[in-house]
Amino acid sequence: MPTEADRLCVGAIAGSWGVKGEVRLKSFCAEPEAIGDYGPLTTEDGATSYKVTLTRPVAGGLGARLSGVTTKEQADALKGVSLYVSREKLPSLGDDEFYHADLIGLEVRDTGGAMIGKVLAVHNHGATDLLEIMGPGMKDSLLLPFTRAIVPTVDLAAGRIVADLPEGLD
């Protein structure tokens, strides 16, 4: 079975749609419909694989048929299941592009080299990606916009991000 580093989560089943086994699929791809282009998607444990056929846009995602899922009850049982694809099936990224999964766990330092914390998660609520950072002495996590001005350096090989914290966050 591929390791965690060999696979990326590209979507999740948000629930059933209709009465014939269709699901509402939430895509985590930059182009939501691309989730249907990567071939079979597997569950987190790798035990189940689904061929995905997108049917239509629906509220909160995409309507989809999954191989082997033919009833509303089967679709209902899959609510919350994350879907993964092998990294090798995903497109290569440009120099300043990153998969969210590759950013999680990186240490974050300020421009002077002082440790701020580590990336816990990457969120996107529409405007831009936000890095959720937690570090020593922090009571709450810090949300940092993931822009070139604020995050001038991402060094995946070194496992480090350099952040130029905006006034009031330092």
Q: What is the pLDDT of residues 62-119, one digit of tens each?
A: 999 999 999 999 999 999 999 999 988 888 887 788 888 889 999 999 999 999 999 9
Specify the pTM.
0.73
Examine the pLDDT at 128 and tell me if it is beyond 90: no
Instruction: Domain 100-163: give its CATH superfamily.
Output: PRC-barrel domain (2.30.30.240)
The model's pLDDT over 9-63, given as tens digits with 9 standing for 90+, comes to 999 999 999 889 999 999 988 789 999 999 899 999 989 999 999 999 998 899 9
Other beta carbons less than 10 A from residue 12's beta carbon:
19
Largest Cα separation within the chain, whole Å, is 58
Superfamily of domain 4-89: RimM (2.40.30.60)
Domain ranges in the chain? 4-89, 100-163
- Give the Å distances, CA to CA, from 8 to 5, 52, 105, 109, 139: 7, 16, 15, 26, 30
For 119, counting Cβ atoms within 10 Å of its Cβ (0-12 exposed, 13-18 middle, 19+ buried), the class is buried
